[in-house]
Structure 1
Amino acid sequence: MGEGEGESNAAYGKKEFKRSKSHFADRVTADGRDGWPVEAGRYRLVASRACPWAGRALVSRRLLGLEDALSLAVTDPIQDDRSWRFTLDPGGRDPVLGIRYLAEAYDAREADHPGGVSVPALVDVPSGRLVTNDYQQLTLDFATEWTALHRAGAPDLYPEKLRDEIDQVMADVYEDVNNGVYRAGFANGQEKYEKAAAGVFRRLELLSRRLAEQRYLVGDTITEADIRLFTTLVRFDPVYHGHFKCNRFKLAEDRVLWAYARDLYQTPGFGDTVDFDHIKRHYYQVHSGINPTGIVPLGPDLSGWLTPHHREELGGRPFGDGTPPGPVPAAEEVAARGRP
Structure 2
Amino acid sequence: MKVLVTGTAGFIGSHVAQLLLARGDEVVGIDNLNDYYDVSLKHARLARLLAQGGYRHVQADLADRESLDDVFSTYKPQRVINLAAQAGVRYAAENPHVYVASNVTGFLHVLEGCRHHGVEHLVYASTSSVYGANTNMPFSEHGSTEHPLTLYAATKKANEMMAHSYAHLYGVPCTGLRFFTVYGPWGRPDMALFLFTKAILEGKPIRVFNHGRHKRSFTYIDDIVEGVVRALDRVPTVDAGWSGAKPDPATSGVAPYRLYNIGNEQPVELLRYIEVLEQCLGRKAQMEMLPLQAGDVPDTEADVSDLVANVGYRPVVSVEEGVARFVAWYREYYGV
Structure with more relative contact order (C-alpha pairs < 8 Å, separation 6 or more): 1
| Fold shared by both chains (TM-score > 0.5) | no
Using structure 1 for the length normalisation, give the TM-score.
0.30
Q: Which has the higher strand share?
A: 2
Q: TM-score, normalised by structure 2?
A: 0.30
